[in-house]
Amino acid sequence: MLTTLRLRLLVSLIFALLLGSVVCRAERGVIIDSGNFFSDAAKAEANRQLLELGTRFKKEVVIETFKEVPAQVSQGVNLQDRAAVNRMFEAWTLQQARQQRVNGIYILLSKDPAHLQVIIGNETQRTLFTSKDRTVLLEMMLEKLRTKQPDEALLQGVSVIASAMQSHRVDRAPPIAQNPAVAEKEESGPWDWFLAAGLGFLVAWLVVGLLRSMFNRGAAGTQTGTGGGFMTSLLGGMFGAAAGMWLYDQFSGHHNSDSDSGPDSDSGATRRDTDYSSSGDSFSGDSGGDAGGGDSGGGDF
């Protein structure tokens, strides 16, 4: 009874870890509409497309809205000074992207003051979504926002991003071959290895328990020595390590690296962003200036 209960607990824990990994990945590349900009239907459609983009291009598109600027962000800023407001939004958006470790594109919208800011990661800008693409995105979204069409700004914005990423992926020449060990190091974070090690340990523990139970039943009639314990530990350890790495590959996305040989395959595009550039502008009724606002390099993570 105790053995059965322990096995059930182990299986439940393994499935909980796997489910947690899937949920964490599913939450990336979605819309956080705290400012109530968009309708439910528009958010549902945009979320669907953004998750598909994340799966296909291994990059995130995070869109976050606010009703107003937090007091700690606007403190000491003259909100009547347009240049000061632009600098405030630039610094705030860069901070948001760093804190969330965005690997791709981060878009921030605020109602008061009315402002749109777009962040691009350095690797994303190099391979999938350039500063020129951002200018197109900003001009289109600002036009829709200034004419009170937020849903169109959202859906057409997602379409612009998808089209740009697809065009760069297809048109780009094959990448220079990279040392697999270096690529693995660049793409893998410490939490990925921690998850793989934890899953491998749990699977090994489960297998050892099962094999030990089987060998103990046989040992009761044949009086075997310690060889059964050694063999179960060895087999369990080997199986656990293999299972752990398989699970890691499945849930980290690395299992696609060998099979993706078509136009959507590019090792450079899967490198994590380590820096950002930012650009944006106001979409209030009295604004109509340049949507570019210039590029500003962000700091390292």
Confidence (pLDDT) at 169:
83
Q: Based on the fold, state whether residues 186 and 281 are members of the same structural domain.
A: no
Strands 60-68 and 31-33: parallel
Q: Give per-10-residue mean pLDDT for the chain (301 aa).
A: 55 49 48 96 96 93 96 94 96 95 96 96 96 97 97 97 92 52 50 62 66 61 51 53 56 44 49 93 70 45 27
Above pLDDT 70, what percent of the chain? 51
Q: How many domains does the chain have?
A: 2
* Amino acid at the residue 8: R
For position 229, what pLDDT does the model report? 55
Which residues lie closer than 8 Å to 273 by C-beta, 6 or more apart? 102, 103, 104, 121, 122, 123, 124
Q: Are 129 and 105 in contact (CB under 8 A)?
A: yes
Instruction: Name the residue type at position 286.
Output: D
Contact 107, 101 (CB under 8 A): no
Residues pairing with 117 in the sheet? 108, 280
- Other residues' Cβ atoms within 10 Å of the Cβ of residue 67: 11
Q: How many Å apart are CA 94 and CA 275, to the nearest integer? A: 9
Give the per-residue pLDDT at 192. Answer: 58
Residues 230 and 171 placed together within one structural domain of the fold: no
- pLDDT (tens digit per residue) in 2-30: 455 555 555 455 544 444 443 444 345 58
Convert the chain into a string of H (helix), E (strand) and C (coil): CHHHHHHHHHHHHHHHHHHHHHHHHHCCCCEEECCCCCCHHHHHHHHHHHHHHHHHHCCEEEEEEEEECCHHHHCCCCCCCHHHHHHHHHHHHHHHHHHCCCCEEEEEEEEECCEEEEEEEHHHHHHCCCHHHHHHHHHHHHHHHHCCCHHHHHHHHHHHHHHHHHHHHHHCCCCCCCCHHHHHHHHCCHHHHHHHHHHHHHHHHHHHHHHHHHHHHHHHHHCCCCHHHHHHHHHHHHHHHHHHHHHHHHHHCHHHCCCCCCCCCCHHHHCCCCCEEEEEEECCCCCCCCCCCCCEECCCC
Same domain, 185 and 214: yes
Task: Say yes or no: 136 and 81 in one domain.
Answer: yes
Is the residue at 199 inside a domain?
Answer: yes
Residue 138 CB partners (closer than 8 Å, separation 6+): 116, 118, 279, 280, 281, 291, 292
In this structure, are 85 and 142 located in the same domain? yes
294 backbone dihedrals φ, ψ, rounded to 5°: 80, 160
Q: What's the pLDDT score for residue 284?
A: 84
Domain enclosing residue 207, as ranges: 2-6+180-265
CA 11 to centroid of chain Cα atoms: 27
Query: Is 116 in the same domain as 214?
Result: no
Query: Do residues 280 and 142 share a domain?
Result: yes
Question: What pLDDT shows up at residue 280?
Answer: 95
Is residue 188 located within the same domain as residue 171? no
Is the same domain home to 101 and 70? yes
pLDDT of residue 253: 47
